[in-house]
Amino acid sequence: MNFPKFTLRLLMKFAGSAGVALCLLAFWTLATRSLGAPNTSTVEWSDGHQSFKFVLRGDVHFTEDDTDIKSLSPDGSLTIERNNEKGRFRFEARPSKDQGIERVYSVDGKVQPWDTVGRKWLAQQLPDLIRESAIDAAQRIARIRRNKGEAAVLDYISLTHSDGAKRVYFQELFAAEPLTVETKRRAIRQIADEIQSDGDKAAVLKDLATHYLRVDDLRPSFFAAEQSIHSDGDQSSVLGYVLKEDDEAANVKCVIESAATISSDGDKSSVMVKAIGFSARNEPLQIACLESADTIHSDGDHERVLAALLRNDIASDKVFCRAFSSAARISSDGDKSHFLCAAAGKAPTGQPVFESFLDAARTIHSDGDKAHVLINWIKREEQPEGALARIRTVAEEEIHSEGDRRQVEKLVQQRQDSR
């Protein structure tokens, strides 16, 4: 039996004769690693004042209360070493010649009788260590669930401080479906509140996503947990995973709304561009995309999202109007004009769409960029009533460069003469 392959992040203190008590006081890093032998795992840590080492070889089984060793494989052994101000303590269990278990307990290098004192010391060390290292996780979770129920499993996970171990326990619990809806609700709350590592939280949310995304009553709690992730990269990876695994409209909408909470414009826009791929001809989804796009501070990333929407078959005049309103918020004249020029040839001919386009174009400060945008609209075959005259007026009043203004006026005149 080996440890699960994760790095344990434990918060620990020593509490006198009570042994190792876990609490939220200070960080130590415990690393599970192979020592070369395929069936060997080691956990050790030191803070300069005290140290702990746990070596597991072969197959080791513990009693149901996790206070003693139940059995060892022929090649199995367990070694615990603990050094602190009270002395050097060492325990080793190995197979005996009569196929039993030989236990050797020593203090400061002197072997002690295996009696009540030694048993008490071992019973103090094992429960926390076994729980935090997730040794034999599948069997332990199954046993707790069988004997005490699903709520007891969640209680056990709450006692666990290692984020990696919590992740393993949640995986084992959900592997034993069916679970009650209340258990799933409580589990996702614990994931959000108790797992501090963004990486572990993101991983467990991906592992369990399918249990929540297809149930309307559970979906909001899943996305609430996802939004508790602080790392923009980890949060965006979860949202990207959701889109890959289940592109139901309700999930896509939640992804778009959650993307707005991401701080990094790059990560936010990447998620939204992916989400836009599932929003074609769906007006509510496209409006939601634009509302989230308005939270992007980077002009380049903002324009990138609008451009993706433009390539994805915009659903309605209302969406076009909202897109032009969003574009007006872009500070960079270059990025704003790039989108408006592309949109000018694709927008429908309705009067509200034209007015929204013109309003956005008028927010451009650069004469050259403004003229370029207006010219792209003038080149359209179909024009709303009075559009060309309106464009001429805007050019006369707002384009100060004579060359740019005359270019617009000349093209307007040519179009009017040809009609």
Q: Tell me if 266 is assigned to some domain.
A: no
Same domain, 160 and 64: no
Same domain, 147 and 90: no
- Residues 181/218, Cβ–Cβ less than 8 Å: yes
pLDDT at residue 133, rounded to an integer: 83
Same domain, 95 and 73: yes
Same domain, 112 and 13: yes
Q: Tell me if 154 is assigned to some domain.
A: yes
* Burial 165-195, CB ≥16 within 10 A → b, else e: bbbbbbbbbbeeeebeeebbebbbebbbeeb
Q: Tell me if 76 is assigned to some domain.
A: yes
pLDDT at residue 312, rounded to an integer: 87
Same domain, 39 and 144: no
Q: Which of 100, 116, 133 is the last residue of a domain?
A: 133
What is the distance between the alpha carbons of residues 27 and 52, in angstroms, rounded to a whole number?
14
Q: Tell me if 286 is assigned to some domain.
A: no
- Residues 143/153, Cβ–Cβ less than 8 Å: no
Q: Tell me if 344 is assigned to some domain.
A: yes
pLDDT at residue 4, rounded to an integer: 55
Mean pLDDT per 10-residue segment, the chain (419 residues): 45 36 33 49 81 89 91 93 94 92 96 96 92 88 94 96 93 92 97 97 96 94 98 98 92 96 97 93 94 97 96 91 98 98 93 97 98 97 93 97 97 89
Same domain, 85 and 11: yes
Q: Tell me if 102 is assigned to some domain.
A: yes
Q: Tell me if 362 is assigned to some domain.
A: yes
pLDDT at residue 39, rounded to an integer: 76
Q: Which of 207, 230, 253 is the last residue of a domain?
A: 230
With tokens 């936010």, the residue in question is 268
* Burial 67-80, CB ≥16 within 10 A → b, else e: bebeebeeebbbbb
Same domain, 147 and 120: no
pLDDT at residue 45, rounded to an integer: 78
Same domain, 190 and 142: yes
Strand partners, 54: 43, 80
Q: Tell me if 346 is assigned to some domain.
A: yes
pLDDT at residue 64, rounded to an integer: 87
Instruction: Please give the tally of structural domains in the chain.
Output: 3
pLDDT at residue 38, rounded to an integer: 54
- How many CA atoms lie less than 13 Å away from 268 in the CB half-sphere? 25
Same domain, 96 and 158: no
pTM for the predicted model, two decimal places: 0.81
> Which amino acid appears at position 157 of this protein?
I
- Per residue in 301-318, pLDDT (tens digit) is 999 999 999 998 888 999
Quote the tokens at residue 173: 């619990």
What is the distance between the alpha carbons of residues 148 and 65, in angstroms, rounded to a whole number?
13
pLDDT at residue 87, rounded to an integer: 95
With tokens 């308005």, the residue in question is 294
Q: Which of 79, 100, 133 is the last residue of a domain?
A: 133
Same domain, 18 and 116: yes
Same domain, 126 and 179: no
Same domain, 34 and 107: yes
Domain that residue 20 falls in: 7-133
